Structure formats: structure tokens, C-alpha cells
């Protein structure tokens, strides 16, 4: 089997098809001996990472890199340096006590990605790590993806997350063939709600007492965008960037 040709083929597929293709390849070839060059390609293939979605250039200043274990220490430091700001709306912050906790989170995000259930990205602004955004576990039966995000305090107010989520929406519909993308935020989290609102998501309503946050239940605002709305979304973006 010519693995380079396989890799080229896999890279041209949408992520969902690429992942199912990779699974088939492994089942077919796992009992065979690989040549040295094939073995060199193996880690790339077995990670299921497609080059086009490993790094997303969002704007001149903003870049998304697929979350990986090499980000562990820096990511933990970012959370640690922004605890008060993040914990107000994110329940997992208090449980992130050491970089081992961050490592566990990254490992579970990688398992999710490798299973074809949604990528998570580290956000960089002018080369500096500043936050995370990505998909919660896909609901593949219904082709739904939920988006989550956070920025460290110093990077709020620059338009970084709106542009990052714009890119996630595009790969969600175009690469992962989702039909619906959801964003749910605590009703009182005005900055978070402003992200889907800026991107033209539809506000669908209130999910009552949807989250247990620091000893109280909070209502969520649910926003969505459908694949059929992407064209209108693109046109609105073009108009706003003129």
C-alpha cells in the first residue's frame, strides 16, 4: 500500500470521511509490516490529524492551533494567571489545580478529536497563547456541534474570540458537515452572549437552570446557526468587512 497516496487522498476528504477512512486503513493494515518510510508517516495517519485543520489562520493576528500535549504547561499557566476572571463563568477552573489537570483535559480533547467528535484549539494572538475554543462532543446522529470558548483576562476586548468562533463555524459546517451549531451561555454572561450575537446566530430561548455554577443554578441563553444559513452568514461577513 502506498501510504503517501493514501495520505493525499485522506487529506482531500472532509474530516468525518477522513476519520472513517483512517479507521478502515488501520484495520486493513495493522497486521502488515510497514516499510521505514511508511512507518514515518504512521504517526501522522494514526493521529487522524488533517494538515488543513491543524492550524487555522483566522486573521493577521489570530491563529488557532489544534490542542496538543505540548501546550500543557503554557495553558495551565494561562488559566492560573486568570483564575478570578475565568471562574466567574467556568465551573472547571477551581478543579484545575496543577498542570496534570490541564494534561488530563488535553488528553480527553485529543481522544474526542481522534474519534471524529470535534476539534479543540488553542488561540494565539500575535504569537502569544491567549485562550481556548472548540467543539463540545459532536451529536453525530443529529449533526449538531456545540461551541465553547474562553480568553485570559489580558486579551478580552480585542475581537479575538468573535473572529476565532467565525472560523470554527466555517469548519464545523464545511469540514465536519454539521447541520446545526449551538452556543449556550449563562444569561448573565453578557460578553459571551455578544459573540454569537455578533456572528448572526439566532437566539432560541432560555434553558432554565441549565448549569450548576458555584452553588447556584444559572439559566442559559441558547443560540444556534444552521448550515442552510451559512451563505447568508458569509454574505453578511463580506458586507461588514468592506
Q: Which residues pair with 216 in a beta bridge?
A: 213
Q: Which residue is nearest to ligand COA (CB)?
A: 159
DSSP 8-state class, residue 137 = S
Piece of the chain touching ligand COA by CB under 6 A; list 85-93, 94-102, 104-112, 135-143: 85-93
Among 162, 187, 213, 224, binds ligand COA (CB under 6 A): 162
Q: Is 160 in the site for ligand COA (CB under 6 A)?
A: yes
Judged by DSSP in three states, 141 sits in: coil
Q: Is 75 in the site for ligand COA (CB under 6 A)?
A: no
Instruction: Provide the greatest CA pair distance for the chain.
Output: 58
* Count of residues that interact with ligand COA, criterion CB under 6 A: 19
Piece of the chain touching ligand COA by CB under 6 A; list 21-29, 111-119, 152-160, 211-219: 152-160
The answer to whether the CB of 67 falls within 8 A of the CB of 109 is yes
Q: Is 195 in the site for ligand COA (CB under 6 A)?
A: yes
Q: Is 157 in the site for ligand COA (CB under 6 A)?
A: yes
Dihedral sign of CA atoms 188, 224, 152, 74 in order:
positive
The order of strands in the sheet holding 128-135 is 55-57, 62-66, 120-125, 128-135, 144-151, 180-186, 216-226, 202-213
Q: Is 223 in the site for ligand COA (CB under 6 A)?
A: no
| Nearest in space to 134 (alpha carbons), one of 145, 119, 144 | 119
Among 81, 91, 159, 188, binds ligand COA (CB under 6 A): 159
Among 44, 68, 189, 224, binds ligand COA (CB under 6 A): 189
Q: Which residue blocks in the chain are alpha helix, DSSP H?
A: 3-11, 15-29, 36-47, 51-54, 72-80, 83-87, 99-114, 160-174, 190-198, 230-241
Q: Is 120 in the site for ligand COA (CB under 6 A)?
A: no
Piece of the chain touching ligand COA by CB under 6 A; list 13-21, 38-46, 108-116, 189-197: 189-197
Among 122, 176, 192, 218, binds ligand COA (CB under 6 A): 192
Amino acid at each position: 500500500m502506498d501510504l503517501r497516496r493514501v495520505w493525499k487522498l485522506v487529506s482531500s476528504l472532509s474530516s468525518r470521511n477522513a476519520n472513517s477512512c483512517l479507521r478502515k486503513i488501520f484495520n486493513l493494515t495493522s497486521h502488515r509490516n510497514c516499510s521505514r518510510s511508511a512507518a514515518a508517516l504512521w504517526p501522522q495517519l494514526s493521529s487522524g490529524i488533517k494538515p488543513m485543520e491543524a492550524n487555522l489562520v483566522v486573521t493577521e493576528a489570530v491563529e488557532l492551533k489544534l490542542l496538543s500535549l505540548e501546550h500543557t504547561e503554557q495553558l495551565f499557566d494561562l488559566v492560573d494567571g486568570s483564575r478570578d476572571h475565568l471562574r466567574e463563568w467556568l465551573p472547571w477552573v477551581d478543579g484545575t489545580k496543577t498542570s496534570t489537570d490541564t494534561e488530563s483535559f488535553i488528553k480527553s480533547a485529543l481522544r474526542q478529536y481522534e474519534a471524529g467528535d470535534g476539534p479543540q484549539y488553542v488561540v494565539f494572538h500575535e504569537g502569544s497563547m491567549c485562550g481556548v475554543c472548540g467543539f463540545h462532543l459532536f451529536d453525530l446522529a443529529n449533526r449538531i456541534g456545540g461551541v465553547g470558548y474562553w480568553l485570559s483576562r489580558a486579551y478580552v476586548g480585542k475581537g479575538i474570540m468573535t473572529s476565532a468562533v467565525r472560523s470554527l463555524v466555517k469548519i464545523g459546517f464545511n469540514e465536519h458537515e454539521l447541520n446545526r451549531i449551538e452556543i449556550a451561555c449563562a444569561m448573565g454572561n453578557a460578553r459571551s452572549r455578544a459573540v454569537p450575537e455578533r456572528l448572526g446566530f439566532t437566539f432560541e430561548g432560555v434553558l432554565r437552570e441549565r448549569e450548576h455554577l458555584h452553588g447556584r443554578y444559572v439559566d442559559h441563553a441558547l443560540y444556534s446557526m444552521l448550515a442552510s444559513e451559512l451563505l447568508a452568514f458569509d454574505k453578511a461577513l463580506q458586507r461588514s468587512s468592506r
